[in-house]
Structure formats: structure tokens, C-alpha cells
A and B are shown apart, each in its own frame.
Chain A
């Protein structure tokens, strides 16, 4: 109700505003694919029904506040679909003339969307961390607001090096997605000069998550699992399956800090982040949605802000013009990370700092001091141009 009242006052204010206004309508859609999944280990990680969408609603408000001063109308549709119905849902959106799409989907579906939508539609990947869609499978009409797994792994590894925790014990899950994350940590170790002195695999034997007295078993299993490892400074967990990483802290055979999927985690946002004006973001989000922000909410907010900011600067809503501006040096955006974020023009990846959180506070922010790069220190995180197999952006 309060949001409605505010909208009315904004419109009233527009009438008194002497800006040369001509109507520009920006029609976007947030398309979310909901996959079947097991419950998370922690109840704090339960997925709310409005995941992602709640961030979009806030971005719409933020864009529209500026839009009111500029004579622009931002309208966003929020559509959730199953993987089976994705094709049909997408056809419907494209049929309605939506040509700016923010997508929450896995890598495979993301490519399906980008390819079916075609070159006249700009697609923003809000949430997928998959490497291939930024590398050999990149698409010219697909930009990535989410950080890649390599960016996140590099953020963690830089912190380990800064702490001089050079000897790493890597534990990865047994599913392909965990192994891909493990690969990102192995590359990060090579890149920054850490030693992976021990690697173990935590096998996914199926079954449900631990409940009731599960901690009793965890307290006995994890020490045994981590026993007898080579001397190490830190444990890094590669656990995209959310199977074991949260069990590691305090249960290790040798007491060591844990990073990665448990302990100190790399994230785009968490609800306690307050630096650089983020408190205002958190308060606005919580007032709208009635809950704490999750990473996907922030990522959808950021994707819609990327579109909104570009529209506001060039006064156009044409996808090709927006893409050109977004990938240019002129584009910049404040994202509550203490410095501007912008895009790598050679693969459409958003450059961004990565927060490291213990799930209560922002412990640190990468890139760490002293990691330098000839283009931007943000390019010390993730795939760099010389090693990229992406050609869609140079053709």
C-alpha cells in the first residue's frame, strides 16, 4: 500500500517537472525456470516463492523513479515456468514483443533461450555461474550479470593468498556440477600460486538431508573423512550440490578455516551487507518483500538496473542500441560494491567485486589488495581475454 502511495506522489511530482518528456516504454520480462530440487541443508537457504522476482520489483521501482523524471515507463513481467514448459512460455513472451529478457535458468536452458530469441532480443543471464556460456558457448545476444564460478573461485583464492594460507586441502562433491566448481578452484590455485596439497571427493550417495539428530552422525563422520590429510592451511569445499560443505566447520580432524561452499563463502549479496550504501538497498528490499534478500534477488535487481541505466542514458529501448551502449566504455553502474561495475566487451561478463561472507557479515571483498591487471583490477577475477574461447563478441 505504501508503495502505491509513493507511486502516486511520484506521478504528481512529474506533472510539476519541466523536463522535455516524450513517452518511452520499456517492456522487459524476468523468466525463471524452476527445477526440481532437494531441500537445502540449512533452513536459512530455503527458496522463497518470489525468489529473484522480489529483486526485480525493487529494480522496477528504482528505474521508474528516475523514469518519472525522464518521461519513461518501465514495465516488467515476471514469469516462472518448468523446464518442460520453457519453450512454450518463451514463445509466448517473444510473441508479445518482449525483446529484453532477464533469465534465471541453468546453462543449457539459457542457451536455448538465447538461440530461440535470436539476435534481435537481448538476454541477460541473472543467475547462472556456468563457465561454458562465457567461454566457448558464448552468444552475442547473451550478457552475464551473475559472476562466473571462476570469478567466485578466484575471489576465494585471492583471500587465501592474502592471508598466506597457501596450502589448500580441496574437498569436492561427486556430481558433475561439484567437479566443475573444483576445476575452478584448481585453476585459481594455479593462477595465484597456491598449492592444492590434498584432494578428496565427498560422495553423493543419495537420500535426504540430515534432520533431527543428524548432527550426531555428522560430528562423527566429518573428522574421520578429513583425517590424515597432508599438512594444510585451509580447506576449500566445492559443493554446488549443497551436500556437505556446511558440515565442515568445527568438525575437521585438523582445525583449519573453511572457505568455498561452506565457511567463508563468495557471494554477490547477503542480507547483512551494509557498506557503500547497501543498507538503503536492504531496507528498500525488505520493506517491499517482507523478507531478507538472497543472491538471486540482487542479481535480478542488478540485471534490470543494467537495462534501466542504459535506457536512461541513451533514451532508447532498442535492444541493439542498448547492447552497444552496455558493452561500451561509457557504461557504468553503482551496485553497492564500492566501485563501478561494467562489462567485459569480449564476452559480455559483468565485472564486479565479490563479497566474502561468514553468513553473518561481509568479512572481506575481493579483488584483494595487490592483485593487479592491465585493464582493471576486477579482471583479476575470472576468465581473462587471452584465455577466452569466446568469439561471438568480436565477429
Chain B
């Protein structure tokens, strides 16, 4: 909390900010509404809703907090917005039907999954050009980057693999088979574990990316909720706390977020959120986790320490992705 207010105060001193000084902005892409909703993380009020192109899904913010990147899937492009003015600045060549991407820690590259073309497209955010197209499995979807930026991970939904793409030469160096329809990948901040969620398989695969003989599947986490049919426990979006203690997994149509102890890999709790919970993001200090709930048109705010849902906020139609500005 101290860190965030300090950073915001500096920011206040150097710019003329109209919004409350302590707040971060939460950007939510509304897949059906074709809009981006902006929420103030201090008041949890919606402060703006602006057009996001056709079928906005994957969403992310540059490390410096200036640019908002939105996959406009039906426009075959990534739109870039100013996080202050919400003006659309330019577009990036994304390849067809971009769905999800991950950002290089330097902010220089986006790694974009092109669902239709079995490709991962690497885009230089400065020159706005395509640097590489990497053939991967069928229906690429989930994207992650290792903390040391050595590998980009892509998951392919019909091939059911996590592909390890070397960021130096854009070659696939390892492939790991996981359960059906892998949707999302995320590393722990220390780079010691990689999690891959399989929507239809109903599991999260735990991969040791640093194993002696190359990345290795070490275990699988499965889910069980009394009174919920097992087939609706469909893991999708994930986030790990920076202290590497807690993994949060959105369970789609089960309307819950699972809380997993990263050390023991046990599910310790299920937090009830809105309907068809999809993607999630932390506020910068990780006090809060925001979930998008596609079928109830709202987002849920989870208090990370207490592992409780504290608020839901109505957004646009079918919220899909969420990204929070850094301090």
C-alpha cells in the first residue's frame, strides 16, 4: 500500500492527473459489447467505457503503463490505446484472429497467438512490424513468458501441447503434452514452475521448466466442488502471487476461482464469483484480484489476503480480459 501511494504521489507531482492520485485503472475488454470498460481501483467505480474494436479479447498494458493493447479478434489486429486519454493511437499487425498475447518485460515485443493460422506472431511494438511468425500446434491460445524472458510459452488447444519457444531464435525447443484444450499458461515469479490450464481436461498441469533434461510435467491439479457437475470445472485464466505462494485459477462455468497453495499444490478454497469466470489480473500491490465474469456482465474484486470476494462491478457485455495499470 505504501509503495503504491508513493509511486502515485511521484506521478502526481510530475503530471496533472485528473483522477484520484492513489488509484490504478482497471481495463476490461467486453467481447460482445465491443467496448473497454475503465474502473477506478480506489473507488471501484466505472469511470469510462470506450469502443475497443470488434470482439475485443486479450488485453494488456505496456510496462511503463502508457499503452493499452487490445486484441480486436474480428478485426485481425491489435489496437493500441492511450491509457490516459483512451484515444486509439495506432494498430499493430497481429496476424489473423488474435486472441491472447504476452508482453516482453522490456515492452519491446508482443507475442500473439493466432487461433486460426496455427501461428505465434512476434510484433515489435516500436517499429510496429512483424518480427517473426512461428508455426505451432493447432489453435494456439495461451501465451506466457518466463521471468528471465528466455522462453515464450504457447499452448495449442487441439494439439494439447505447451510449446517452449526460444526468444533468441524463435525456434521451438521443447513440447509438453497436457490435457485437453490448454487455455492459459503462467509462470511463478521465480521461474521455478509453469502452470498450464486445460479447460476440457479439467486440470492444471504443473511443469518444472528447469528440470535437468528439459522441461518436465511433474503433476496435475484437479478440482472438485460439491454440487457442481465435474464437467463444468473448466480451468481457464490464472494468476500467481509474486511471493510464489498462491495460484488463483478461474473455473469458467463453475463460477468459482480456485485458490491453490503453490508449495503443496492443494486446492485450499473455492471463491464464488460471477458467471463464466474467464481472466484475472492483480492490482500492482496484489491487494486485489479482479475477475471477468462473461455471463453475468460483471467483474468480481477478490481481497487477495483474505481470499474473499468483496465486490462485483457491472461492466459491458460479456467481459473477457482484464489488465490493471502499473504504479
A interface residues (Cβ-Cβ under 8 A, vs B):
6, 9-10, 13, 16-19, 61-62, 65-66, 69-70, 277, 280, 283-284, 309, 312-313, 332-334, 338-340, 376-377
Contacts and interface: CB of A to CB of B under 8 A. Distances in A.
B157 A69 contact: no
B175 A19 contact: yes
20 contacts: A13-B171, A16-B172, A18-B174, A61-B138, A65-B138, A66-B159, A69-B161, A280-B116, A280-B158, A283-B116, A284-B138, A309-B160, A313-B177, A334-B157, A334-B158, A334-B181, A334-B201, A339-B200, A340-B180, A340-B231
B180 A69 contact: no
A334 B180 contact: yes
Nearest to A65: B138
B137 interface: yes
Contacts of B174: 18-19
Interface string B151-177: 000000111110100000101111101
A69 B135 contact: no
Given A334-B157, A340-B231, 5 more contacts: A16-B171, A18-B173, A280-B116, A332-B179, A332-B200
- Which 10 residue pairs spanning A and B have beta carbons closest together? A16-B171, A334-B200, A334-B180, A339-B231, A66-B159, A334-B181, A69-B175, A9-B135, A13-B135, A340-B200
Interface residues of B, number: 32
A338 B229 CA distance: 13
Contacts of A61: 138
Contact of B159 (A9, A16, A19, A65): A65
B157 A65 contact: no
Contacts of B161: 66, 69
B327 interface: no
B181 A66 contact: no
A4 to B, nearest CB: 14
A377 B229 contact: yes
A45 to B, nearest CB: 28
A333 B179 CA distance: 9
A127 B15 CA distance: 67
B118 interface: yes
B139 interface: yes
Contacts of B177: 312-313
Contacts of A340: 180, 200-202, 231
A280 B115 contact: yes
Q: Is the interface of A mostly helix, strand, loop or mixed?
A: helix
A333 B118 CA distance: 19
Interface string B79-120: 000000000000000000100000000000000000110100
B176 to A, nearest CB: 10
B172 A17 contact: yes
Contacts of B175: 17, 19, 69-70
Contacts of A69: 137, 159, 161, 163, 172, 175
Contact of B135 (A6, A277, A280, A338): A6
Contact of B118 (A6, A19, A313): A6
B135 A62 contact: no
Given A17-B172, A284-B116, A334-B181, A66 B157 contact: no
Contacts of A280: 97, 115-116, 139, 157-158
A20 to B, nearest CB: 10
A62 B200 contact: no
Given A16-B171, A17-B175, A62-B158, A333 B180 contact: yes
Interface string B134-148: 110111000000000
Contacts of B179: 332
Contact of A277 (B118, B134, B139, B172): B139
A350 to B, nearest CB: 14
A381 B181 CA distance: 24
A312 B229 CA distance: 28
A122 to B, nearest CB: 21
A334 to B, nearest CB: 4
Nearest to A2: B117
A66 to B, nearest CB: 4
Interface in B217-241: 229, 231
A139 B144 CA distance: 47
Nearest to A10: B135
Nearest to A8: B135
B275 to A, nearest CB: 14
A10 B179 CA distance: 22
B214 A18 contact: yes
A9 B172 CA distance: 13
A256 B289 CA distance: 49
B164 to A, nearest CB: 9
Nearest to B173: A18
Contacts of B116: 280, 283-284
Contact of A332 (B135, B139, B180): B180
Contacts of B229: 377
B159 A332 contact: no
Contacts of A18: 173-174, 214
A284 B158 CA distance: 12
A66 B172 contact: no
A46 B169 CA distance: 49
B137 A65 contact: yes
Nearest to B172: A17
A62 B138 CA distance: 6
Nearest to B183: A277
Contacts of A19: 174-175
Contacts of A13: 134-135, 171-172
B231 A277 contact: no
Contacts of A16: 169, 171-173
A284 B137 CA distance: 13
B151 to A, nearest CB: 13
